[in-house]
Amino acid sequence: MFEDVTAVVALAGPNEVEVARAGDEAIEATVAVTRNAVTGAAEHSISNVIYLSTFHVYGSSVRPGEIITEDTPAQPEHPYSRARLAAEEIAQELSDPVIFRLTNSVGAPSHPDIERWTLLVNDLCRHVVRDGKIVLKSDGTQWRDFVPLSDVVRIVADVSLDALRPGIYNLASGRSTTVRHVAEMIRDHAKSLLGEQATIEGPVPNAEPSQPYTVGVDKLAAAGHRATGTLDDAIDETLRFCVEWKDALTV
């Protein structure tokens, strides 16, 4: 299994929906699969270990106007982020890994059967293609850092071939966007692609958004890696995927 392997990328584990449903059992599963991957790497003298964690380990440290760097305290609130932080810790205990704390990646899945339609942009793109409308579950004033999935794959691949100095790195665009603005972008792209104007439904904001937080990406940029793709292209890719697989999509 590890023959001719020069790097191990560990990212397996239950997703946020599964962890929330299964609780401690899912957290233990996340730690277990990470331990297995890291131990296997060590047993085969593979020093380049990459662990994909989540930006959400910062939890309650993410506040309006804050710049979130790798030195920001991790204060996870959701079971999924607690699971990923626990996996980070076991990876660091057993090896000297590169840990990427990934924000909200955007891009088409490899197949419609992959259960990642709970992700915001995937869900909104699916709905607009299937139903001609976008339904927000909140007022959309929350800030998010969206990074193209193509950038994530490229950076992880580059680091797997050319080892990065071990440590924690934010993997993000470095730009914050509100959920409502992303919904408006999806609506506009869908109009260009489908020729029809979709509606945006859901709670109406009764106040202006708070000050955005910023995810610091200077550490990764200083090491020669930066997300360079655009959110527009990532949304367009996801919408085109949904159009191609429209008959296979379920809502």
85-116 confidence digits (pLDDT tens): 999 999 999 999 999 999 999 999 888 888 78
> Once rounded to an integer, what is the mean pLDDT over residues 68-95?
95
Asked if pLDDT for residue 250 goes beyond 70, the answer is no
The pTM is what? 0.94
54-69 confidence digits (pLDDT tens): 999 999 999 999 999 9
- Beta bridge mates, 200: 134
> Once rounded to an integer, what is the mean pLDDT over residues 215-224?
98
Find tokens 């109406």 and name the residue. 204
DSSP secondary structure string, the chain? --TT--EEEE--S--HHHHHHHTHHHHHHHHHHHHHHHHHHHHTT--EEEEEEEGGGGGGG--TT-EE-TTSPP---SHHHHHHHHHHHHHHHHS--EEEEE-EEE---SSTTSS-TTSHHHHHHHHHHHHSEEE-SS-S--EEEEEEHHHHHHHHHHHHHSPPPSEEEEES-S-EEEHHHHHHHHHHHHHHHHSSPPEEESPPPSS---PPPEE--HHHHHTT------HHHHHHHHHHHHHHTGGG---
Asked if pLDDT for residue 174 goes beyond 90, the answer is yes
Asked if pLDDT for residue 251 goes beyond 60, the answer is no
CA distance 91 to 98: 9
Percent of the chain at pLDDT > 90 equals: 81
- Beta bridge mates, 171: 102
